[in-house]
Amino acid sequence: MPLPTLLLAAAPALTMPSLPQVPLAGKTREIEVRDATTSSPTESLEEVRTTVVTTGTEGPRKRPGPLDGFWFDLETGPLLIARNDAQYGPNDGTFFTAGDLMQNRNLLPSQRVVAEARFWDTESLIFLYAPLDLTTRVVLPKDITFQDTAFARGTVVDARYKFEGWRLSWLHRVAGTWEDGLEVGVTNQIRNAIVSFSDAQGLKYDDEQDIGWVPALKVRWRKPLPEGMSFVWEADASSTLGLLPVKGGLLDTAATLFIPLQRKLDTFFRVRLVNGGATVAERRIFNDSDFYAGLVGLRWRVR
């Protein structure tokens, strides 16, 4: 065979490298390469590059599991009883205020503990314990009849106000993502309350004790901020709307700034307003209060 003819026959084998397979995301894909006699080497390599980029397969995405996260919150800080109006007793119980019992003269320590679990990326189950137990010793500025017991003006009295709540809440995300979204749901609260008066000598004592159920609606909005921080606003609210024999309502709302400390640990700063009260006409019981708190806390993510 003449030398030019031999070189022409060998040209395709010399100019076209073998590219049978290209690995893509753990898989392989067959690549067809044009004959160099009908397409330039530059065009062939560009076609291969385009094919690899546009037809590659993605790895499997992680699906939300039954339990996506679990964490604890612990908050503490000063609380102010701005208003605590009350009246107890079927026999002309006396109306008195937080000022009459010196409940608004000092800041009080406030604490709350929260455990929260997130399921399937959209559902949250929240348990909260919020204690409040205050006793003030005061010289009564006026005559006060509490329940069926009369305490004369000038009597030294220990006045106790205990109000603790155990809450279980459920939230469903209705818009956005976990980091930037809106959740709505319901809250069920068990209220444990004690209000009592006793004179300093221990000769007179009376109280009102109550365990009650308070259903409420709950909403939470979360917004991401720079440097890994986030802002969260949430509220629990309920009202009887005057439709039941017991008239009352609850508003517990807070705004929180979360700041990351470590991978699973955040600190936060929070301001809170709590308004609540009830009127039971047949028992002549009335209470309406406003509490304000400035808080600091830690969030520890277990999972």
pLDDT top residue among 60 and 81: 81
The residue-averaged pLDDT of 38-64 equals: 45
Partner residues linked to 247 by β-bridges: 279
Percent of the residues in the chain that have a pLDDT greater than 90, as a whole number: 62
Is 38 among the domain residues?
A: yes
3 pLDDT tier (thresholds 50, 70, 90): very low
In a domain? residue 64: no
Are 296 and 76 a contacting pair, CB within 8 Å? yes
Q: Is residue 61 part of a domain?
A: no
Where residue 284 sits, what CATH number does that domain have? 2.40.128.90
pLDDT greater than 50 at residue 46: no
Which range is least confidently modeled, 84-93, 103-112, 149-158, 174-183?
84-93
* Average pLDDT across the chain, whole number: 83
In a domain, 166, yes or no: yes
Tell me the mean pLDDT in the region 245-267. 93
Segments forming the whole domain that contains residue 132: 69-301
Residue with tokens 């008239």: 247
What are residue 107's phi and psi, to 5 degrees?
A: -80, 145
Count of H helices and E strands in the chain? 2, 15
144-146 and 265-280 strand pairing: unpaired
- With 0-12 CB in 10 A as exposed, 13-18 as middle and 19+ as buried, what is 192? middle
**Domain match, 93 and 51 both:** no
Whether residues 157 and 277 fall in one domain: yes
Residue 225 maps to a domain = yes
Give the E-state strand segments of 104-180 in sequence order. 108-119, 123-130, 133-139, 144-146, 149-151, 156-176
- Mark whether 73 and 186 lie in a shared domain: yes
Decide the pairing of beta strands 181-199 and 205-224: antiparallel
- Residue 232 CB burial class (10 angstroms; 0-12, 13-18, ≥19): middle
- Across the range 257-286, mean pLDDT stands at 92
Angstrom distance (rounded) from CA 235 to CA 256: 12
User: Do both 227 and 250 map to the same domain?
Assistant: yes
pLDDT tens profile 204-243: 999 999 898 889 999 999 999 999 999 999 999 999 877 7
Separation CA 276–CA 290 (nearest Å): 7
Count of the separate structural domains present in the chain: 2
Pair (154, 50) in one structural domain: no
User: Which amino acid makes up residue 116?
Assistant: E
Whether 60 maps to a domain, the answer reads: no
* pLDDT value, residue 280: 84
Do 28 and 89 lie in one domain? The reply is no
Whether residue 265 is contained in a domain is answered as yes
The alpha carbon of residue 160 and the mean position of all alpha carbons in its chain are separated, in whole angstroms, by 30
| Same domain flag for 76 and 22 | no
Mean pLDDT of 241-267: 90
pLDDT at 25: 41
Beta pairing partners, 138: 157
Lowest average pLDDT, out of 39-43, 83-87, 154-158, 299-303, goes to 39-43
Residues 115-141 have pLDDT tens digits of: 999 998 899 999 999 999 999 999 999
Supply the pLDDT for residue 72.
96
Helix (H) or strand (E) holding 11: helix 3-15
Measured CA to CA, the distance from residue 192 to residue 210 in angstroms comes to 6
Q: Please tell me whether residues 43 and 157 are part of one structural domain.
A: no
**pTM score:** 0.75
pLDDT of residue 134: 95
CA separation for the pair 144, 289 (Å, rounded): 19
Quick one: average pLDDT of 33-38?
A: 45
Q: What local confidence, expressed as pLDDT, does residue 110 receive?
A: 94
Any domain includes 63: no
Structure tokens at 65: 């599991």
213 and 74 within one domain: yes
Report the alpha-carbon distance of residue 40 to residue 263 in Å, rounded.
53
Share of the chain above pLDDT 70, in %: 78
The reply to whether 135 and 19 lie within a common domain is no
Residues 171 and 232 in one domain: yes
Q: What is the pLDDT of residues 96-118, one digit of tens each?
A: 999 999 999 999 999 999 999 99
For residues 30 and 137, the model is more confident at 137
Q: What is the pLDDT of residue 303?
A: 77
Same domain assignment for residues 17 and 121 = no
